[in-house]
Amino acid sequence: MTDLHLLHLEDNPADHELVARALARAEVPCALTLVDTLEAFQAAVRQGPVDAVLADYHLAGFSGLDAWDWLRAEGIELPFVIVSGAIGEATVADAMVRGVSDYVDKHRLARLPGALQRALDLAAARRAQADAARALTESRQRLVELTEHLQASIDRERADIAREIHDDIGGSLAAVKLDLAWLARRSTDAEAQTHVQAALAMAEHALGASQRIMRNLRPAVLDQGLMPALQWLTRTFAERTGLAVGLHGRLRAPLDPKVDMVAYRTVQEALTNVLKHAQARAVRVEVSDLEDFLTLEISDDGRGAGPAELAKLQSFGLLGLKERAQTVGGWLDVATAPGQGMTLILSVPLGGATTPEPETAE
């Protein structure tokens, strides 16, 4: 076993010898260094190594708690055992409340090895806990960075696919429509006209579907800003589903494109969840960037969700929205109860001065 490096703050050499003998009798492998002033104590701690401190309470011109307070002020975590004569229960209680590891009466030094070992074990457990918490924090940070990287990659892939659909499939379908229209103008056969018109209708449907897929993959309307994009999204959702969807609020200035995308996808996913799960009749979307915060609320009058169902939702769509919000430094709150609808609130901190724009309401 490696020798412990113990620092003994004591101004009585005889008491120092007694402590050394108590540790030797208990076969505690240690190097015990004596210091008798606060300045010498501070220098020894800075020079190190020190595994634990044994400190008298009553010292010339100061107390052992002064040394403890200095350690705390310096942010130094060390096991600290007061080894002193009788100092009273109130003083012992005060020392323990302030974080001192233990107290051992000089007349009962047989307790010292056990008290020292407990203090060392507690310090080791605290270090392990701190290391685990630090590792967890670092792991979460890496997860956030990975999520941001994956989301950026997904958005780039979506943009690339949308571009290919527009350039390749969209162009081909437009050419097919032109050729079919040419045939329709020149064909006099009634049966052929029927087939040509059916093919034209199918091409028109396919072209509309490709345009809809392109907008879902990368809505070009976002290039005009978040509010125009949300206007288009809520209007087309209402037309497609028959639900009453209202968009209210304003933005005072353009936002970062990353924030635009996060806000747009949040509303898009929220509307999809309303359609799939809420059994709602109306949805209200409110947008604001007051006090340098983007606040986006999506509320429905549907059936809401209880804790068990909400936990299930949290595992899928809502969890993805929360992770997406974190990529721009934001967060997502959920308010719901059975029979009381559901409200999603996206909050994203913004920076910089803004100039008011006209309020938008639908």
Task: Give residue limits of the domains in the chain.
Answer: 4-131, 150-217, 222-361
Instruction: Name the CATH superfamily for 222-361.
Output: Histidine kinase-like ATPase, C-terminal domain (3.30.565.10)
339 Rama class: left (phi>0) / alpha (psi -120 to 50) / beta: left
47-56, 212-221, 348-357 — which is least confidently predicted? Answer: 348-357
pLDDT for 220 equals 73
Give the pLDDT confidence of 12-65 residue by residue, as tens digits.
Answer: 999 999 999 999 999 999 999 999 999 999 999 999 899 999 999 999 889 999
Contact 289, 251 (CB under 8 A): yes
Residue 279 has pLDDT above 80, yes or no: yes
Q: Which two tokens stand for residue 142?
A: 């890496």
213 Rama class: left (phi>0) / alpha (psi -120 to 50) / beta: alpha
Helix, strand, coil share (%) of the chain residues, nearest 5:
60, 20, 20
Instruction: Name the CATH superfamily for 4-131.
Output: Response regulator (3.40.50.2300)
- 131 Cβ contact list (under 8 Å, min separation 6): none
Q: 342: buried, middle or exposed (CB in 10 Å: 19+, 13-18, 0-12)?
A: buried
Contact 301, 281 (CB under 8 A): yes
Give the pLDDT confidence of 191-206 residue by residue, as tens digits.
Answer: 888 988 999 899 888 8
